[in-house]
Amino acid sequence: MRNAAIRRTTKETDVEIKLSLDGGEVWVSTGIGFFDHMLTALAFYAGWGLELTVKGDLEVDGHHTVEDTGIVLGQALKEALGDRKGIRRFGSAFVPMDEALCFTALDFSNRPYLVFDADMPQPMIGDYDACLTVEFMRALAMNAGLTLHQKCHYGANAHHMTEGLFKSLGLAVKDAVRVEGAAVVSTKGVL
């Protein structure tokens, strides 16, 4: 089974996650409505089962909640993938979201890296700081051992742009973690 269960508690956040790469129920509660919406969309398009509860210092702002969620979700992905034998490894997807067009390309290479190109035209999306999307993606990539490239080619609405980025991430992850064989997909023989 490709599952993981992790809890991480700091002075700023308490994050608890159960992740199944092969499907299941999705339930998310972070205290930030738009972020819950994005994580639910990510899990849906990735084909995951996800139970995620976050209690963060939202009286400060959403930064610690969003970044720490990325850290723990990345750790859970890494654990659930194990030695990565048999996975396709690479994935990519375009998602149009009304006026916005977003793209994700990724590699579960075990060499974390992030390239993020999406300037948000509005600073806030409900109670979510639009600048936190890159913080989430960075934390996810670094902790999952994921090479992640994301670009919003164009858009005028930060909600649509962010949603396109999360949905394209989900679709690319679903493709990349699909089991196609028994060997590690690397000329080195290990990831």
List pLDDT tens digits, range 60-86: 999 999 999 999 999 999 999 999 999
Residue 137 lies in a domain: yes
Q: Please choose, from the candidates 168, 165, 70, 157, the residue with its C-alpha nearest in 3D space to the C-alpha of residue 120.
A: 157
pLDDT tens series, the chain, 191 aa: 899 999 999 999 999 999 999 999 999 999 999 999 999 999 999 999 999 999 999 999 999 999 999 999 999 999 999 999 999 999 999 999 999 999 999 999 999 999 999 999 999 999 999 999 999 999 999 999 999 999 999 999 999 999 999 999 999 999 999 999 888 888 787 77
Residue 93 lies in a domain: yes
Residue 185 lies in a domain: no
- Domain housing 89: 3-176
How many structural domains comprise the chain?
Answer: 1
Residue 12 lies in a domain: yes
**What CATH number does residue 49 fall under?**
3.30.230.40
Residue 47 lies in a domain: yes
